Every structure is written in structure tokens, then in C-alpha cells.
Amino acid sequence: MPDYPAIEKKIQQVLGGTRRPIAIAFVDSPPAGVARFEGSEPSSCSFWRLAAAGRTFYTVPADHQNCPVGGYTHNLLEPERMPDLQQTLALMSGIGYIRMEEVGGVFHLDQSAKFVVYSPLADAPVEPSVAIASGKPARVMLLVEAAGRAGEMSNLPLLGRPTCMAIPAAMANGAVASSGCIGNRVYTGVGDDEFYVVLRGATLARVADEIKTIESANQTLTAYHQERRSALSTV
């Protein structure tokens, strides 16, 4: 497998902050030695918080039923819970949060997985389907540019609600940036001043290898633009 500790270090250094990037893998069998999640969480993205805090574990579809939106984007929602999804969408529509015609544009996985593995990126026990990282916009910019230089950045615009749709979007299209949504921010505790980047697991090493070049280029361009601003500003 790729050197995930080294990749995590590169990503965390470019993004700053203390929140660790995480790995998520959709698999048919749980990795050897990885514990099953025990307990209950209110949403699928709540597991991001646990992984970022250092835990490695796997979930089963039953663990994802508390959030019908996350269950839908992950294609894990059980048929008997579909009324919960409709109720949630009706609430969101009724308060003006969404328009019902937007729902068809929400990315979701085409196939359901038997198990979902969560871990800090450095501790990934299997190849991730995606890696998720967060940071302030100026730092996210650098990782997005590294993904672009690696030929891995998708053509999708900045994604918004629901945050969890960034997972299937990245798996199908390449790296995406997401502004997040209020539910995700409540459940994960991600900072109000932070955005997300979601990267495909198979191309993580290639993106990480471009970070140094992008950082150096931005340092050079910072001096270039500062000089131009000083020379050309007349106000």
C-alpha cells in the first residue's frame, strides 16, 4: 500500500490545524484486526469526527440509519426508513432550506457496501475509497491546486449541502471541495472558517507529491503579486 502516514503528514502540513485527515473505505468484508463500531451516532458524518480523533473501526448499514440523508448518499438507507427521508426533506423544504427539485441533483453511491471502514488517513488498514480533509480557504486552495496539477481535480463546482454527497461525487469524478452544511458542522465540530476537500483514495499519493511544487509556486507568486500591487496601485 502507499505510505499513508507520509501522505497524511503532507496533507496536514499544507492545511494546518490539528484535525487529522481521515480515510473512508467501502468494502465487502471488514479488515482483519479492525473493531466493529459499538454504540450510536446521529449521522454518517459523525463517524468522521471519531476517525479524526484517532479511532479506527468499521460500521455496518444499520449504523447509518439515524441520518436518512447520509443513508441516502451512502446508499445504505433501509427501505423501511424511506419515510424518515421524506419527512426530513419535507422539513428542510418547509423551512426554505432546500427546494424539492434539488434532491435529484444530490450525488449518491450507485451500490451499497456491506461495511464502511473509518480511520485517520495514516492508519488506513485498506486502500481508502476517499480521504477527507478540512482547512481554512487559503490552505484548501493549495490542496485543490495540487489536485489540479496531478490531473485529479474534478470539474464540479464548490459543493454544498449535504456535505456527505462529496464522497460519491469524488469517487465518481475526482477531487472535490465542499463548503459543508450545518448538520455536518454540528455533528463533526469542524470550524466555521473551514472548508472540506475530498480526494479519491487511489490517487492520494499523486496529489500529495504535487503539494511541495504548489507551495513553492505560491510563495513565488505571493512576492510577485505583492510587488505588482505596490508598483501599480495609485489610490
Please state, in angstroms and as integers, the Cα–Cα distance from residue 155 to each residue in 68, 130, 144, 151, 181, following that order.
28, 17, 12, 11, 21
pTM of the complete model beyond 0.75: yes
Q: What percent of the chain has pLDDT over 70?
A: 100
Taking residues 126-149, report their average pLDDT. 96
pLDDT of residue 18: 82
Average pLDDT over residues 167-183: 96
Residue 58 pLDDT exceeds 80: yes
Burial 186-207 (b: 16+ CB within 10 A, else e): ebbebeeebbbbbbbbebbbbb
For the chain, the average pLDDT equals 94
Residue 17: its pLDDT value, please? 78
